[in-house]
Amino acid sequence: MLLLLVVTTFAEAAPNSIDPGKSRKEMAAMTPAEREARVNVIIKRVEEIRAMDKSKLNRTERKELKKELRSLNKEARVHSRGGIYLSVGAILVIILVLILIL
């Protein structure tokens, strides 16, 4: 019983929630032009969803739209990464090392 509970719990977290058709490696291997094109497609789809009249949708359709928006948001985040992010602690360590060196 416990084993079944553990297996079903982790089975739902296992699939790639970004895009079932593409892995992270495939998305990372895209050229900048392909990334830009994919981001434009995502933006257009989000605008279509925002323009929809959601009051006429039933509960399951609204739920599916929410899931789609979440997955599009995650995929857009993956495509927009590219900068260097430093935490405050890392910046302090770098400053202290520079002070000690100079």
* Tokens read off for 57: 């949708």
Q: Outline where the chain has alpha helix (H).
A: 2-13, 24-28, 32-51, 59-80, 88-101
What is the value of pTM for the model shown? Answer: 0.53
Would you kindly state where each structural domain of the chain is located, as residue ranges?
18-82
Mean pLDDT of 22-39: 76
Percentage of the chain modeled with pLDDT above 90: 27
d(CA 64, CA 22): 20
Q: What is the pLDDT of residue 24?
A: 65
